[in-house]
Chains A and B, each alone.
Chain A
Amino acid sequence: MFQNIGEMLVLLWRTLEAVPVTWRQRQKVYDQLFEIGNASLLMACILSVFIGGVITLQTGPVLAERGLSNYIGGMVGIAVCKELAPVMMSILIAGRIGSAMAAEIGSMRVYQEIDALRTMNINPVHYLVLPRLVAISCALPILVIFSIQVGWMGGALVAVFNQDIGISFQAFFGNLRDTVDLGDVVNGLFKSFVFAVVIGTVSCHQGLQTIGGPRGIGRSVTKAVVNSIVLILILDYFVTRFLMYFE
């Protein structure tokens, strides 16, 4: 495990060193951005509506019972933007995009395409890892912005139409506006950026480490997704703790 972490940190460092040449790989970055956005936006929106909805459904009646229904907007707003949207979107992207990255790079490794790049003196980190890491680091925070807004909408719909809560849109968003500030949104975006780097690094590393045939590719994909999710959930605690110093 420690060897894997060490290798991933080395890969991340080499990718960061290559960031100045990102402009040369811009077409690949655009392609990856399109791939991530196109593959995930609809799913992200659907997921977010239900995340916002269910958190309202679970907490709304409890607050309403105690005469605190006007505070639902703020509570849902904070929960979605600081925690649920970044974490759930990251898990979604680890499953959809991280797995695809590991599979694509893994199959390139198995079928000697990466060897072919190296014989042409083309650095696989510059050619394969850099565009993916840059694209996912840009795309995930953008998806989280969508997710936050759609999640709030989902929460508001449940708050308005659920008979046990029954508050107005104005009351929901009024309290949300009073409670949530830009810093909370930035907090969520920072988290999603960290998680994006984790997903990109873990997935590309697993792809580059692939050995064997199709079974090896399958193993790499599984490891990429599982390791990404585990790291996201562990890092979530520490990043949250770190960000609390700035509040």
Chain B
Amino acid sequence: MMNDSKHHGVSVKVHGLRRSFGDQPVLKGLDFEVQPGEIFVVMGPSGSGKSVLLKHIIGLEAPDEGEILIQGESIQSPGVMDKFRMAMVFQSGALLNSLTVGENVGLYLAEHRLKPPEEIARVVGEKLELVGLKGQEDRSPSELSGGMKKRVAIARALVIEPQLLLYDEPTSELDPLMAVTIGEEIVDLNLRIHVTSIVVSHDRDLAFGIADRVAIIHEGQILTVGLPEEVKNNPNPLIQEFLTAHFKRDNERKPS
């Protein structure tokens, strides 16, 4: 275990979280805790509130009710973003199109003046190599495929060496090999710097492959939280329907 406190994950506590957009309730009172250094995967169908939950955890959205505590401190209180290093990998990548790939990855270090330019260039090269994009520093984000953008976004998050890392669908738009690489990187990062990881994903292979614990969210409510095996064996029909859904050939479909 590393001694540097910056390299320890932080705990996250979500308590009574409610949020509506207009008269449409999206989060209906979520309660869960994530332990420091844990990989916590939130699964659920589209529109169940997963991405909105992530935005609340990192302070991009303010809840109507309830609170989110990072290491015991409310995310809404001033100075929390300065105190703890947090990063988020957006579903779309959210790369700055006016910057090159290298500038995107090194943005955090450059803007906060944490390292000299040569050192930033070295770190950027290292992180890009980690996600399989060695030598792509000078390319523009508009020249990249969706999957490559996602990998650059992950490299950008890794540069921060965060204590809390949020992933919004990290393997969407990735081929299976790259999805495995990214999954392994999430685990590896967790082992190396004990970062707390909260992953939102539809990808059942990823979720059960990397998670310490899994939560299933449905229509803004948590159906269950537990170890992967416990969740897999949960008899709730909504959970089973979500976890076992697969394509059926004509001969497998029920006659109408």
Chain A residues in contact with chain B, CB under 8 A? 24, 104, 107-108, 111-113, 115-122, 127
26 pairs, CB–CB < 8 Å, chain A vs chain B: A24-B113, A104-B98, A108-B97, A111-B92, A111-B97, A112-B90, A112-B92, A112-B94, A113-B96, A113-B97, A115-B55, A115-B94, A116-B90, A116-B94, A116-B96, A118-B60, A119-B60, A119-B86, A119-B88, A120-B108, A120-B111, A120-B160, A121-B82, A122-B108, A122-B111, A122-B112
Q: Which residue in B59, B92, B107 is a CB contact (below 8 Å) of A122?
A: B107
State whether the Cβ of B43 lies closer than 8 Å to any Cβ in chain A.
no
Q: How far is the CA of A24 from the CA of B59 in the complex (A)?
A: 26
Most A CB atoms within 10 A — which of B58, B82, B96?
A: B96
Report B119-138 residues with CB < 8 Å from chain A CB. Answer: none
Q: How far is the CA of A97 from the CA of B35 in the complex (A)?
A: 49
Q: How far is the CA of A120 from the CA of B94 in the complex (A)?
A: 12
Q: A120 and B60 in contact (CB under 8 A), knowing A113-B96, A115-B55, A127-B111?
A: no
Per-residue contact bits, chain B 191-226, to A (CB 8 Å; 1 contact, 0 not): 000000000000000000000000000000000000
State whether the Cβ of B231 lies closer than 8 Å to any Cβ in chain A.
no
Min CB–CB distance B86 → chain A (angstroms): 7
Q: How far is the CA of A237 from the CA of B69 in the complex (A)?
A: 52
Residues of B within 8 A of A24 (CB): 113
Min CB–CB distance B118 → chain A (angstroms): 17
Min CB–CB distance A145 → chain B (angstroms): 29
Per-residue contact bits, chain B 143-174, to A (CB 8 Å; 1 contact, 0 not): 00000000001000000100000000000000
Min CB–CB distance A204 → chain B (angstroms): 15
Chain B residues in contact with chain A, CB under 8 A? 55, 58-60, 81-82, 86-88, 90, 92, 94-98, 107-108, 111-113, 153, 160
Residues of B within 8 A of A104 (CB): 98
Min CB–CB distance B196 → chain A (angstroms): 15
Most B CB atoms within 10 A — which of A111, A113, A115, A117?
A: A113
Q: Which residue in B82, B94, B107 is a CB contact (below 8 Å) of A111?
A: B94
Q: How far is the CA of A116 from the CA of B108 in the complex (A)?
A: 10
Interface contacts beyond A111-B92, A119-B88: sample of 8 additional A-B pairs, CB < 8 Å, sorted by A: A104-B98, A113-B95, A113-B96, A115-B88, A119-B86, A120-B160, A121-B108, A121-B112
Min CB–CB distance A152 → chain B (angstroms): 38
Q: How far is the CA of A104 from the CA of B88 in the complex (A)?
A: 22
Contact B94 A121 (CB under 8 A): no
Min CB–CB distance A49 → chain B (angstroms): 34
Residues of B within 8 A of A118 (CB): 59-60
Q: How far is the CA of A121 from the CA of B114 in the complex (A)?
A: 13
Q: Which residue in A112, A113, A120, A127 is a CB contact (below 8 Å) of B87?
A: A120
Nearest CB to that of A24 among chain B residues? Answer: B113
Min CB–CB distance B149 → chain A (angstroms): 11
Min CB–CB distance B131 → chain A (angstroms): 17
Nearest CB to that of A123 among chain B residues? Answer: B111
Q: Which residue in B58, B82, B92 is a CB contact (below 8 Å) of A119?
A: B58
Q: How far is the CA of A122 from the CA of B96 in the complex (A)?
A: 13
Residues of A within 8 A of B87 (CB): 119-120
Nearest CB to that of A104 among chain B residues? Answer: B98
Q: How far is the CA of A117 from the CA of B112 in the complex (A)?
A: 12
Q: Which residue in B55, B92, B97, B107 is a CB contact (below 8 Å) of A120?
A: B107
Nearest CB to that of A121 among chain B residues? Answer: B81
Nearest CB to that of A119 among chain B residues? Answer: B88
Q: A108 and B96 in contact (CB under 8 A), knowing A116-B88, A120-B160?
A: yes
Q: How far is the CA of A117 from the CA of B156 in the complex (A)?
A: 11
Q: How far is the CA of A127 from the CA of B86 in the complex (A)?
A: 19
Most A CB atoms within 10 A — which of B86, B87, B94?
A: B94
Residues of B within 8 A of A113 (CB): 94-97
